[in-house]
A = this chain, B = another copy of it.
Amino acid sequence: MPKVTEEHLAARRQQILDAAAACFAREGFHRTSMTDIVRECGVSAGLVYRYFSSKDEMIAEIVREWHAHRAVALRSGDVAENYLGLLREVGTADGPDPRLALQVWAETVRSPEMRALARSGVDSVRQAAGAVGELPDDADALVRVMVAVYQGLLVQTAWDEELDNAAFVDAVRVLLERVKRGRV
């Protein structure tokens, strides 16, 4: 069935990527074999390789999707509110699967490309926050702390789905308010 629409192509690609993401989140990147992905997405092995040249490329693409999602979430409005929104999203269907984050991070250790990609995500957040301009000298360190909070929340959520996310976010909000008031 050749000469197929662009939409079909894009849908196929997404179908494969979603299957891969599901497998990675469930079994881990390295415990997921291509065969697993093939089984999950229901197309042939050969076709998977028409869309992605390797497992590595799949996970890289997942990261890029994720960064795009976050960029949108932080784009406009109040930075602090947007940030808290991202925290709230963790562990829900709206946010990225925290277990995937752990898989990606493990790959950053051996792959410079992956590391660069992961860092670029943090860096863009730092820039976005800096651009708002309401923060003083030690701002960058503070932003990095807030990023760390987000990263740690991903870790903890990956380990415990029953986690009281709301209480965590509340604690962070209080913290942020103290910071603002302290600065006045």
Instruction: State the A residues within 8 Å of B (CB).
Output: 2, 25-31, 44, 46, 99, 102-103, 105-110, 115, 118-119, 122, 138, 140-142, 144-145, 147-153, 155-156, 158-160, 164, 167-168, 170-172, 174-175, 178-179, 182
- Contact yes or no, A109 B170, CB < 8 A: no
User: Which chain B residues border A147 with CB–CB below 8 Å?
Assistant: 152, 156
Chain copies in the assembly?
4
Residues in chain B near residue A152, CB distance under 8 A = 145, 147-152
Contact B119 A160 (CB under 8 A): yes
Consensus secondary structure, chain A interface: helix
Contact A155–B151 (Cβ < 8 Å): yes
On whether the beta carbons of A155 and B105 are closer than 8 Å, the reply is yes
Closest Cβ–Cβ distance, residue A121 to chain B (whole Å): 10
